[in-house]
């Protein structure tokens, strides 16, 4: 089993050495990995932790010899939360012969960049839950595209199971962003609910830049569900939940990982009561890998570890493992990743196969709630 995570003390020492070195050592040029993220604009609360994690990952990898003696450099660029910009940046990165691409913060940008990388056979690791980016509708997969977080099917399954078994809900309404992430997640949630024998009484969407959701929420209230499944990301979900409560909708709300951020809590405020969400990151830090990374992250950035940082750290080390053990082009590295070589990460152990480029399990998903102003494991 590949164990890319290093000890906390050693990693911190590496950061100190990196920051105090006056002259870099002579040697071969670094191996460049493009990281196309959304760290400005509406997705900045999600993208900035990813940037932070990649900086730590670069220091961690290089402090331990890089890849066969060569240093690694994550070339982090901002796609401004725009799919066309992400596509252009991916084309430019491939033109510079990067070893691999990491993207991204949003589903639309990740999908746009993955189309470019797949056409050129470049290894590409996404950090969003939408499996449709690598999973073809015909049942096949895009060989060189892999996922560094739990896919939406796992998140939906965990939410539906919690709603049915813990909250004793028999019917749900679905509220979601009208974008790719929201519509795909909502469709998966509907499938999971029906499979679990639950009734879907309403399905409402909203534009991601909306500020008034009254029309949709009045319909949800009239449908009288036992719980609400919510699929959205960034800052808008906080506004939606606040308006739910102002309209007297006190029902349980169960969301995907897109709302597990301090930004959601800051916007939703007191409306977070009875809100749940899925996450690959266990707030209790049960594994040594997660505890070490959490210590490193919080000590460096003076902020709690969040899911989006864990996604980027794991994505970086998935690429590192593939480069270290296979090298060559994207097809060679893809063959190694699906060849029975588990990669242990902060979110769980990734066990990729030729038909599963996600590699995580339902058991890796945790249902969280907000307690004392922080996301923590739900009762």
User: Residue 85 sits in a domain of what CATH number?
Assistant: 3.40.50.2300
Same domain assignment for residues 316 and 175: no
Same domain assignment for residues 249 and 207: yes
Same domain assignment for residues 342 and 303: yes
pLDDT category at 10 given cuts 50, 70, 90 is very low
**pLDDT higher than 50, residue 326:** yes
**pLDDT higher than 90, residue 227:** yes
Same domain assignment for residues 184 and 55: no
Is residue 374 a part of any domain in this protein? no
Same domain assignment for residues 34 and 101: yes
Beta pairing partners, 144: none
Structure tokens at 66: 């890089």
The residue behind tokens 């003696």 is 69
Region 140-162 average pLDDT: 96
Is residue 159 a part of any domain in this protein? yes
Structure tokens at 336: 């190694």
Same domain assignment for residues 135 and 165: no
Contact 314, 322 (CB under 8 A): no
| Per-residue pLDDT, 139 | 76
Q: Of 279, 299, 317, which closes a domain? A: 279
Same domain assignment for residues 82 and 172: no
Same domain assignment for residues 141 and 158: no
| Per-residue pLDDT, 266 | 95
* Residue 20 CB neighbours (<10 A): 7
Is residue 373 a part of any domain in this protein? no
Is residue 370 a part of any domain in this protein? no
Is residue 375 a part of any domain in this protein? no
Is residue 163 a part of any domain in this protein? yes
Same domain assignment for residues 144 and 256: no
**pLDDT higher than 70, residue 255:** yes
Structure tokens at 376: 């923590």
Same domain assignment for residues 141 and 177: no
| Per-residue pLDDT, 376 | 94
Q: Of 261, 279, 297, which closes a domain? A: 279
Give the tens place of pLDDT for each residue, 176-215.
Answer: 999 999 999 999 999 999 999 999 999 999 998 899 999 9
Q: Which phi and psi (to 5°) does residue 181 adopt? A: -60, -50
pLDDT category at 138 given cuts 50, 70, 90 is confident
CA separation for the pair 273, 242 (Å, rounded) = 10
Work out the angle between the directed axes of helices 288-301 and 8-20 (0-180°, nearest 10).
30
Helix/strand/coil for 10: helix
Q: Measure the N-to-C terminal CA separation of the chain; round to a whole number of Å.
A: 32
| Per-residue pLDDT, 26 | 66
Residues near 52 by beta carbon (within 8 Å), at least 6 away in sequence: 297, 300, 301, 309
Q: Are strands 199-206 and 171-177 parallel, antiparallel or unpaired?
A: parallel
Same domain assignment for residues 231 and 116: no
Nearest to 159 by CA among 241, 244, 236, 260: 260
Name the residue range of residue 337's domain: 8-21+28-150+283-362
CA separation for the pair 31, 60 (Å, rounded) = 15
Contact 211, 241 (CB under 8 A): no
Is residue 377 a part of any domain in this protein? no
Region 233-237 average pLDDT: 88
Q: Which of 16-30, 47-61, 173-187, 224-238 has the lowest mean pLDDT?
A: 16-30
Contact 280, 163 (CB under 8 A): no
Is residue 378 a part of any domain in this protein? no
Considering its fold, how many domains does the chain have in total? 2
Give the tens place of pLDDT for each residue, 24-57.
Answer: 456 789 999 999 999 998 899 999 999 999 999 9
How many residues in total does the chain contain? 379
Same domain assignment for residues 145 and 208: no
């Amino acid at each position: 089993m590949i164990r890319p995570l290093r000890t906390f003390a050693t990693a911190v020492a590496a950061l100190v050495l990196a920051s105090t070195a006056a002259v870099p050592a002579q040697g071969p040029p670094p191996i460049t990995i493009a990281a196309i993220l959304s760290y400005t604009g509406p997705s900045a609360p999600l993208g900035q932790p990813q940037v932070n994690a990649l900086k730590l990952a670069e220091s961690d990898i290089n402090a331990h010899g890089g890849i066969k003696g060569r240093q690694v450099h994550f070339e982090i660029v901002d796609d401004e939360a725009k799919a066309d910009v992400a596509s252009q940046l991916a084309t430019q990165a491939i033109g510079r012969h990067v070893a691999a691409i990491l993207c991204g913060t949003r589903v639309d940008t990740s999908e746009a960049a993955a189309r470019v990388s797949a056409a050129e056979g470049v290894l590409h690791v996404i950090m969003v839950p939408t499996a449709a980016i690598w999973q073809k509708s015909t049942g096949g997969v895009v060989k060189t595209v892999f996922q560094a977080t739990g896919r939406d099917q796992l998140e939906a399954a965990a939410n539906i199971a919690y709603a049915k078994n813990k909250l004793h809900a028999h019917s749900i309404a679905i509220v979601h962003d009208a974008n790719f992430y929201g519509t795909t997640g909502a469709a998966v949630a509907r499938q999971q609910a029906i499979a679990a024998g639950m009734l879907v009484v309403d399905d409402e969407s909203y534009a991601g830049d909306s500020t008034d959701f009254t029309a949709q929420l009045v319909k949800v209230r009239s449908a009288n569900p036992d719980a609400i499944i919510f699929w959205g990301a960034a800052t808008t979900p906080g506004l939606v939940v606040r308006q739910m409560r102002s309209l007297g909708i006190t029902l349980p709300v169960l969301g995907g990982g897109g709302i597990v951020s301090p930004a959601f809590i800051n916007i939703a405020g007191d409306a977070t009561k009875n809100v749940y969400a899925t996450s690959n990151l266990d707030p209790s830090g049960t594994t040594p890998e997660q505890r070490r990374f959490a210590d490193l992250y919080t000590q460096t950035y003076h902020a709690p570890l969040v899911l989006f940082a864990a996604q980027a750290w794991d994505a970086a080390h998935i690429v590192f493992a593939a480069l270290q053990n296979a090298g060559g082009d994207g097809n060679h590295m893809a063959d190694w990743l699906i060849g029975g070589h588990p990669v242990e990460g902060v979110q769980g152990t990734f066990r990729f196969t030729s038909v599963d480029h996600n590699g995580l399990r339902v058991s890796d998903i945790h249902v969280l709630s907000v307690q004392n102003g922080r996301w923590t494991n739900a009762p």
